Amino acid sequence: MGKKVYEASDIRRIVFDEDVKFIRLQFVDIFGTLKNVAITVEQLNNALAGQIMFDGSSIEGLIRKNESDMFLKPDLSTFEIFPWRPHQGKVARLICDIYNKDNEPFKGDPRAVLKNVLKEAESMGYKVKLAPEFEFFLFHTDENGEPTTVTHDKAGYFDLGPIDLGENVRRDIVLTLQDMGYEIAASHHEVAPGQHEIDFKPDEALTMADDIVTFKLVVKVVAQNHGLHATFMPKPLDDVSGSGMHTHISLFDMDGKNVFYDGEDENKLSQMAYHFMGGILAHSKAITAITNPTVNSYKRLVSGFEAPNRIGWSDLNACPLVRIPSASNEETYIEFRSPDSSCNPYLGIAAMIKAGLDGIKNKMESGPALTDEELKKPLDPFDFDHTLPTNLKDALVELDNNVVIKESLGAVYKNYRLAKINEWQDYMRRVHQWETKKYISRY
């Protein structure tokens, strides 16, 4: 939707005119989970001045006890009124940057991590635009309101109502997002029953990361209003496709020209685009620890379900890691297909961009395109040179060994790594239903 330009006086006026009574000061933890400090309208001036304090030590992975006093400084361009709240006593939000008590940006803030990478891009003369494709499932809830894995419909790819019973939910999600000023490119039913997709139009990287956080909230709220549970869990069901967040990436110079486009090239890509893609491919294993951050993420990245797992690129829509769609000047982009929506969008986008910039700096080769025969060949999961990590532990090992992607995370890296190691160890301590069914009688 583009960055809005608000002065503090504009926000005060809108809050008064629209009868806003509560403002949520939002930020995310290192996992991308949305947090907020809710204030009444009487505290608005303090909030706009960045004087609202919170205890950072209470947010998982964010901060140590002796650094707990943090301040929230709102980005005024992110001001939105939630359209699903009552017409009287409305609720608005502001997405905030986290500052320490010395009035310096907190280096462990995921939003600051992305800002730092974007500063690097700007120092090289580039701005980055992104357009994600969000897949998610709609499930029924039980009598206690807890989510089940019973899907809301039996429809398939691009089906319509009455087969696609989720069509009404998707429509309301899109209308709600449009009420908030977001530009939606498309929405449709996906391959699996109960699975849906909504695609955004391109926007600048920081704005898009903010939009991703808001989008996930909107989807969950609207689904709940329909008596359903929406989940961005990458692989909630066996034997059907999982949910990804394919990400379209474009690079522009400061005059607004798409530097990925070259009309003379066979694929309409510039040499810079190939180098950027080369960086993505070279660092893809380490990136996976950020863009596919859960144990469950790797249940999606397997053969047979249209998810990418073979490292390489192609202009064919047959599950390459990076796809090159038909290019047309300003709309030229590369599509990075492995990320899923369980990732922290600020960290995930930072890692993608950092990898691509490293490719440009070092003129990394993207290699030849994967052929149709190569893409259809059964994947060897032990072909470690050409495949993504098959579990979270292996992805974390790749991250440990990758200086560039660790650098993209900055001060967040150590806490993120420790949290994910703990998550893996917790998973490994559990006995799962598949194991019991497979082995309890046999042995």
- In this prediction, residue 123 carries a pLDDT of 97
List pLDDT tens digits, range 116-155: 999 999 999 999 999 999 999 999 888 888 888 888 666 5
Side-chain half-sphere exposure of 391, counting CA atoms within 13 A = 9
Would you say residue 324 has pLDDT above 80? yes
Would you say residue 286 has pLDDT above 50? yes
pTM for this entry: 0.93
If you average pLDDT over each of 7-11, 141-145, 355-359, 365-369, which comes out highest? 355-359
235 touches 307 (CB < 8 A): no
What is the separation, in whole angstroms, between the first and last Cα of the chain? 58
- H/E element holding 174? helix 167-179
Compute the distance between CA of residue 440 and CA of residue 84 in angstroms, rounded to an integer.
50
The arithmetic mean of pLDDT across residues 370-388, rounded, is: 80
Would you say residue 402 has pLDDT above 50? yes
Phi, psi (rounded to 5 degrees) for 409: -85, -20
Would you say residue 287 has pLDDT above 90? yes
Look up residue 310 and give its two tokens.
């073979």
The arithmetic mean of pLDDT across residues 280-293, rounded, is: 98
- What letter represents residue 180's amino acid? M
The arithmetic mean of pLDDT across residues 88-95, rounded, is: 88
- In this prediction, residue 76 carries a pLDDT of 96
Would you say residue 260 has pLDDT above 70? yes
Give, in order, the Cα–Cα distances in Å from 210 to each of 7, 107, 286, 336, 350.
Answer: 19, 18, 24, 19, 13
What does the DSSP 8-state code read for residue 163? T
- In this prediction, residue 26 carries a pLDDT of 95
- In this prediction, residue 159 carries a pLDDT of 47
Look up residue 18 and give its two tokens.
């629209």
DSSP state string for 58-100: GSTTT--GGG-EEEEEE-GGG-EE-TTS-SSSEEEEEEEEEEE
178-190 residues labelled b (16+ CB within 10 A) or e (exposed) = eebebebeebebb
- The radius of gyration of the chain's CA atoms, rounded to the nearest angstrom, is 22
Side-chain half-sphere exposure of 403, counting CA atoms within 13 A = 1
